[in-house]
């Protein structure tokens, strides 16, 4: 599960009672399960990687002949793979799975208030360092290029 892709994702520790089973199950075993909470039919949905966010607005790139233009969409229900498009597209529209920098430059700029910036900054501090920040980087490899202990299997020397 990835909370970066879906900040609305909720994970819960759950205890269940199983009816008779032939599978060897022991106390303390863990499992990854999905609980179907809704089944939507007759909805327009696209892969989640088709959606780009700018502030509170969401966009997809709709193909128009040999070009593609950003189209603002309203999102509905989603799962790990697909997101419902509640408005902004119609059946038969083709959308791009990914966009290059030239297309991304077409996304409209979004005005963000100082309060929103302060709120996002506070959220970032709670989450920890960003992946590309200096504090979040892995340490550099040692000059030898090795990333493990020296051969011989002994403990590393202490200075």
Domain boundaries, given as residue ranges, for the chain: 40-110
Sign of CA dihedral 71, 74, 78, 80: positive
Residue 86: which of 51, 49, 36, 37 has the closest Cα?
Answer: 51
Write down the pLDDT at residue 63. Answer: 94
pLDDT of residue 110 exceeding 80: no
Q: How far apart are CA 94 and CA 101, in angstroms?
A: 19
User: Percentage of the chain with pLDDT > 70?
Assistant: 66
Predicted local confidence at residue 80, as pLDDT: 84
The pLDDT mean for the chain works out to 75
Mean pLDDT of 98-126: 73
Q: Containing H/E element for 127? A: helix 114-127
CATH entry, 40-110, from 2.40.420.20, 3.40.1190.20, 3.40.30.10, 1.20.1090.10: 2.40.420.20
pLDDT confidence of 9, banded at 50, 70, 90? Answer: confident
Report which of residues 156 and 38 the model is more confident about. 38
pLDDT at residue number 117:
66
| pLDDT mean over 46-70 | 93
Distances (CA, A) of 64 to 14, 48, 72, 101, 158: 47, 20, 15, 18, 65
Segment among 4-8, 18-22, 69-73, 85-89 with least mean pLDDT:
4-8
| Two tokens, residue 108 | 């409209």
């Amino acid at each position: 599960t990835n909370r970066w892709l879906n900040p609305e994702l909720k994970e819960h520790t759950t205890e269940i009672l199983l009816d008779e089973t032939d599978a060897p199950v022991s106390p303390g075993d863990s499992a990854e399960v999905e609980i179907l909470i809704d089944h939507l039919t007759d909805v327009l949905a696209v892969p989640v990687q088709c959606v780009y966010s700018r502030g509170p607005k969401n966009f997809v790139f709709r193909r128009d002949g040999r070009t593609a233009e950003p189209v603002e969409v309203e999102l509905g229900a989603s799962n790990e793979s697909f997101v419902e498009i509640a408005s902004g597209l119609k059946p038969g529209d083709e959308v791009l799975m990914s966009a290059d920098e030239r297309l991304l430059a077409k996304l409209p700029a979004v005005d963000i208030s100082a309060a929103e910036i302060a709120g996002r900054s506070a959220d970032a501090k709670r989450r920890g360092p960003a992946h590309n920040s200096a504090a979040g980087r892995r340490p550099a490899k040692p000059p030898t290029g090795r990333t493990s202990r020296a051969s011989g299997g002994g403990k590393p020397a202490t200075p």
